[in-house]
Amino acid sequence: MDVQALFKLSYGLYVISAHSGERDYGCIANTLQQVTAEPPRLSVALNRNSVTAKAILESGHFCGTVLTETADLKLIGTFGFQNSEAVDKFAAFSTGTDENGARYLTEHAAARYSCKVVDTLDLGTHLLIVGQVEEAETLSQEPVMTYDYYYRVVKGGTPPTAPSYRGNASAAPQPGKKKQWRCKICGYVYDGDPLPADFVCPICGKGADQFEPV
């Protein structure tokens, strides 16, 4: 099988969020899509170990937010590489709260959809969650972030928990440029040389052994 052929599929980039108990949960997903129009329903494939997926199943609701091209590695690193039970992922961002209590970003966001879970399909590593849109709102007219833009321009990476995991971004060396080190996990770039042996990536928390020279 030509696994590379799967990389021809195109996606957007979204924050999927939920509120359960006293906590706010959220993660990055590229797998949100509209699956029916009447009534409007969306599906998203979430890793079964994601605490956001558990919060969605507990609360019966989720909110999907469309990211814009202005979303940077700090935002995607926070939501896409960290655990919602370890950090308050929303703390550093402007947010709103939907009618089900789920928080969503109001910056770097083009639209949000508040959904009631109507079906779940167990796919093994992932759960396909289907939600009926109860409320939809346009948040900005900025161009939306695509998966391709994230790889080519933002030069971010994807953790193995994503269904479309394809390894990590690596940039071609630029002669004459000050030496930099890139985190192979999330794409964060450290300016300078040498990279301290005890350096910890501020985005995804991995150590210096996960960095490669740019």
Ligand X SMILES: Cc1cc2nc3c(=O)[nH]c(=O)nc-3n(C[C@H](O)[C@H](O)[C@H](O)COP(=O)(O)O)c2cc1C
Q: What is the DSSP string of 106-160?
A: SSSEEEEEEEEEEEEEE-SSEEEEEEEEEEEEE---SPBPBHHHIIIII-----T
Stretch that binds ligand X, among 23-31, 63-71, 94-102, 175-183 (CB under 6 A): 23-31
Q: Does 90 bind ligand X (CB under 6 A)?
A: no
The residue from 73, 76, 144, 203 that contacts ligand X (CB under 6 A) is 76
Helix (H) or strand (E) holding 28: strand 23-29
The least CB distance from residue 203 to ligand X, in Å, is 10
Shortest CB 186 distance to ligand X, Å: 7
**Cα–Cα distance list, 145 to 45, 66, 142, 154 (Å):** 18, 8, 9, 10
Question: In the structure encoding, which two tokens stand for residue 27, read together?
Answer: 């993660």
CB of 136 to ligand X, least distance (A): 20
Structure tokens at 76: 């995607």
Q: CA nearest 112: which of 45, 47, 17, 43? A: 17
d(C-alpha 46, C-alpha 53), whole Å:
6
* Total number of residues that touch ligand X (CB under 6 A): 25
Site pattern 111..150 for ligand X (x: CB under 6 A): ---------------------------------------x
Which among 44, 197, 68 is positioned nearest to 130, based on CA atoms?
44
Query: Which residues 24-53 are close enough to bind ligand X by CB under 6 A?
Result: 25, 27-31, 45-47, 50-52
Q: According to CB under 6 A, which one of 129, 145, 162, 214 is a site residue for ligand X?
A: 162
- Determine the interface stretch with ligand X among 77-85, 93-101, 136-144, 175-183 (rule: CB under 6 A): 77-85
Choice from 20, 158, 168, 210 touching ligand X (CB under 6 A): 158
Tell me 88's DSSP state: -
Q: Which stretch binds ligand X (CB under 6 A): 64-72, 104-112, 154-162, 189-197?
A: 154-162
Residues that bind ligand X (CB under 6 A): 13, 25, 27-31, 45-47, 50-52, 76, 80-84, 150, 158-159, 161-163
